[in-house]
Structure 1
Amino acid sequence: MAGILSLVWFVGSVLITPFLMILLCIVFLASIGKSLGVRRLYVKLLLVIFEFGRANIETAQRNAHKNEDSDEDETCSEDVDPPNNNEQRDQLVKQPNGLKKSNNGYVPNGNSVISRDDKLILVPEPPFTILKKDGELSESKEKYKEYDLSSIFDYLKVGMQDIIEDQVTSRFEAEELKNWNLLIRTNRRYEFISWKLTVMWVCGFFVRYFFLFPLRVTICFFGICWMVVSTAVIGCLPDSPVKRWINAKAYIISFRIMARSLTGLIHFHNKEYKPARGSVCVANHTTPCDVLTLSTDNCYSLIGQSHGGFLGILQRALARASPHIWFERSEVRDRHAVANKLKEHVSNPKNPPILIFPEGTCINNTSVMQFKKGSFEVGSVIYPVAIKYDPKFGDAFWNSSKYSMMQYLYMMMTSWAIVCDVWYLPPMRQNEGETAIDFANRVKSVIAKQGGLVDLVWDGQLKRTKPKKEWRERQQEEFSKRLLN
């Protein structure tokens, strides 16, 4: 019995000692904002592995297609006479571009079946003129002089397109990848195409779940403990420049440690435009970790709804050391209360910049949807920030209607890494005579252009609610104009 215990102790010490050394090294480097370059080397190694996997998948698919073609040729040579007429010849012609459809109709590397105009509203077409034989123009004739059955075809086409693939629903699904990243995020069973991919996938599974996951959970626990303890101590200090300086350092250290728990590799650009105190910072929203991503480089005040449980602990901890705006459920819909608290916060130049996500919901890292105008009515300088995640290493998008917060964090911590780019953009002010809606759209277009995202006018809340009545009435009005013309 003593021998077994000594063996267990020896094995445990061999495994735990390196684990603790790695943990302490990561926490220490995160606290001082330094890196040994291990994460960058790790990401480069992943890219090499992904490329190797892509080449193996393509090779396996080519071999499978060759085998299918050879089997078909043998069957045709044994059972079918050579084609002697056009009908038989047409039956043996392959699909265009040499591609063959699978059972579910998918064409590998094919394009989308939807080819749509980017017009959200169908407008009346202008009248046209007819050119006579002598070169003179005849009198103008209205194309839609009276109702015709073909008048509804354009609307039927748009309706069919939106049923198959609308612009809103597709923004709340995981972003499609060009190449497989060895994660279980596919129904094509790529991991079993060849024995090489199987070995790679099994090794990756053990690395992610038996080494990275426990290490990341432990690092995250350290970060949370540091935040709770440091904010409790800072909250006891009197309000002064020293307190604000200490709080900023403790705030950034906390989020840097938690970012290391996701193997976050964040590239910041244009740091000369970093948000200043007493201003508003607005950014596109992909994940709750957007706060973590931005807070590794700057101290922010946060705004949001009060929560209980785990998030409530973090909110109360942050509120001890610096000013944040947390609303009760009864106040969330009170726009005047929100606007007043925002104006009060930005009016004090000593307060950290307040971080706001005007979309109000998470979008799947491909688009920017409608910005709520409330953030742009406070009369403060707006600092736009564009965030773009690299989906090859892990899907950062949080589908809140499908996964809980704990499920989402589990998926993030078992991904390879979180790699993203952050662009600070020049500060913007509302022009004279410009409405808050126009100002919000102008800021949104700047963020979309910098991040390479699609600029959409749709409200992100459509994933939870029905379209507004005025949207339907606008479509009906435009359709009635076409009939009257």
Structure 2
Amino acid sequence: MISALLSIFWIPLGGFLSFLVFISAINKSIGVRKAYVNLLLRIFEYGRVSIETASKENQIFSRNPKTDDKQGVQLVDDADSKEATNGVAPLITRDAVLLPQAQEPAPEKPVSSTKDEINFDFEKCLDYVKSGVEAIIEDDVTSRFEAEELKNWNMLTRTNRHYEFISWKITLIWMVGFFIRYVFLMPLRVLVCFVGVVWLTVCTAAVGYLKDGPYKRQVVNKVLSMCFGVLSSAISAVITYHNEENRPSSGICVANHTSPIDVLVLMCDSTYSLIGQRHGGFLGVLQRALARASPHIWFERGEAKDRHLVAERLKQHVSDPNNPPILIFPEGTCINNTSVMQFKKGSFEVGGVIYPVAIKYDPRFGDAFWNSAKYSMMQYLYMMMTSWAIVCDVWYLPPMYRQEGESAIDFANRVKSVIAKQGGLIDLVWDGQLKRMKPKKEWKEIQQVEFANRLKSDST
């Protein structure tokens, strides 16, 4: 009896997985994911209207009877407006003059002390005091390493507002969604992910025995597209590619970095070589599997800090026209899908063509940002598989070349600004490594020199 029940369950599931692999192999879509996303959008909109209506009713009931009606209505509208935006708008506007200029070299010598008398007024340092208070109120850097705030509640984001209990209809929808995500979608996604990883490992091992040449590259492109297509099903990924005529075919491809899923998103459409530090665990399994089928550059922790070794390996890879384009994330760390931070200049010193790519995730369906300082890879995968879906847009931008007389830093900043503009992201000058370390001494010296020059100019 039990075996009969198990066969009734496993046969349809096996048929579904086989159909999923076949669809991924021929790179086709039957439109189920897009229909699922459109349904979610309608539910989110219904929830938004219901929450706003309930909030207005609660505000009206709690009004002071002595308050003027027009003023009371205005207060309700203001409260709803703040609640709907969920604090997305910045609280303060900073003066750009106090931001560090990355393209300026650090002074070789500290500001020398002088015996010249300088008339100092306390008001001359008020701009710096103001900047310090602003940083305490709203840190423009630390906020980039936290989950992106949403304009509307997506019945998923953890919040202390308890929107799920604002009305019985919203409560019912939230309970049904919770059941679907944790009881139906999550086990299915875990199974699909397991099948995808095993399939990737087996296929890359088999392809690794082929002789290098054009035929092997065609097979690798097909196999990796199929395997990553299956893995994308494990997170219900809906990816829209724009300007495919600019898709890189060689050279260096640079993109903004939000998550390890960035690699999956791009590999579903084309094959890339990857560069990065060797990892253990789940990422290590994927790295070793990919290395069997195509050329990648993996470094040990100590080697990754050797800039000359990294540059030399990059030049060797780019110089071979048979190698696929190499994918690089110049930020060096994951940013929360709201901005682009400083690009490291190393990949822009190699020479040749640079293919910029902008990636923007839709946060309404799930937060794709990986806070590696807070969550392990397995915790992050758990969050992805319990979200609604991963929806994103990818823009292939026209190739860019280093201009005559242009420094590598200026070239990196120019590419970064193009990516930020296309993706609707904020272009920041700050180094993403501030996530893990203190500000560089050179940046402090730049501010000290700027402050000293202000005092001198004001005293003359």
Aligned partner letter, 1:194: S
CA contact (8 A) 1:217 1:261 kept: yes
For structure 1, which runs of at least 5 residues remain unmatched after alignment? 1-5, 77-88, 124-144
Q: Given the alignment of the two structures, is residue 471 of structure 1 paired with residue 443 of structure 2, yes or no?
A: yes
User: Which string of whole-angstrom CA distances, capped at 9 and with x for unpartnered residues, describes residues 444-481 of structure 1?
Assistant: 01101111111111000001110111111111111112
CA contact (8 A) 1:370 1:456 kept: yes
Equivalents in 2 of 1:12, 1:66: separation in Å? 56
CA contact (8 A) 1:266 1:420 kept: yes
CA contact (8 A) 1:268 1:422 kept: yes
Shift of 1:28: 1.6
User: Which string of whole-angstrom CA distances, capped at 9 and with x for unpartnered residues, describes residues 169-200 of structure 1?
Assistant: 11111111111111142221110111111110
Q: 2:391 aligns with which of 409, 419, 424?
A: 419
3-state SS of paired residue (1:29):
helix
CA contact (8 A) 1:376 1:440 kept: yes
User: Which string of whole-angstrom CA distances, capped at 9 and with x for unpartnered residues, describes residues 124-159 of structure 1?
Assistant: xxxxxxxxxxxxxxxxxxxxx942222122111111
Q: 1:274 aligns with which of 247, 254, 263?
A: 247
3-state SS of paired residue (2:305):
coil
CA contact (8 A) 1:99 1:108 kept: no
Equivalents in 1 of 2:452, 2:280: separation in Å? 50
Q: Which residue of 1 aligns with 2:266?
A: 294
The alignment-based identity, stated in percent, is 61
Q: Which residue of 1 aligns with 2:105?
A: none
CA contact (8 A) 2:21 2:226 kept: no
User: Which string of whole-angstrom CA distances, capped at 9 and with x for unpartnered residues, describes residues 302-355 of structure 1?
Assistant: 111112222222111111111100001120110000000000000000001000
Q: Which residue of 1 aligns with 2:187?
A: 214
- Aligned CA distance change for structure 1 residues 118 and 29 (closer, same or farther; 3 Å): farther
Q: 1:32 aligns with which of 26, 29, 32?
A: 26
Q: 1:258 aligns with which of 231, 253, 264?
A: 231
- Aligned CA distance change for structure 1 residues 256 and 100 (closer, same or farther; 3 Å): closer
CA contact (8 A) 1:27 1:219 kept: no
Equivalents in 1 of 2:281, 2:368: separation in Å? 23
CA contact (8 A) 2:272 2:325 kept: yes
- Aligned CA distance change for structure 1 residues 375 and 27 (closer, same or farther; 3 Å): same
Q: Given the alignment of the two structures, is residue 461 of structure 1 paired with residue 438 of structure 2, yes or no?
A: no
Aligned partner letter, 1:317: A
Aligned partner letter, 2:207: I
Aligned partner letter, 2:91: I
Q: Given the alignment of the two structures, is residue 115 of structure 1 paired with residue 92 of structure 2, yes or no?
A: yes
Equivalents in 2 of 1:443, 1:346: separation in Å? 19
Shift of 1:166: 1.9
Shift of 1:273: 0.6
Q: 2:134 aligns with which of 161, 169, 175?
A: 161
Equivalents in 2 of 1:19, 1:345: separation in Å? 43
In the superposition, the TM-score normalised over structure 2's length comes to: 0.90
Q: Given the alignment of the two structures, is residue 382 of structure 1 paired with residue 354 of structure 2, yes or no?
A: yes
Shift of 1:223: 1.2
Larger Rg: 1
Equivalents in 2 of 1:333, 1:113: separation in Å? 36
Aligned partner letter, 2:280: G
Q: Which residue of 2 aligns with 1:134?
A: none
For structure 2, which runs of at least 5 residues remain unmatched after alignment? 101-117
CA contact (8 A) 1:389 1:418 kept: yes
CA contact (8 A) 2:239 2:391 kept: yes
In the superposition, the TM-score normalised over structure 1's length comes to: 0.86
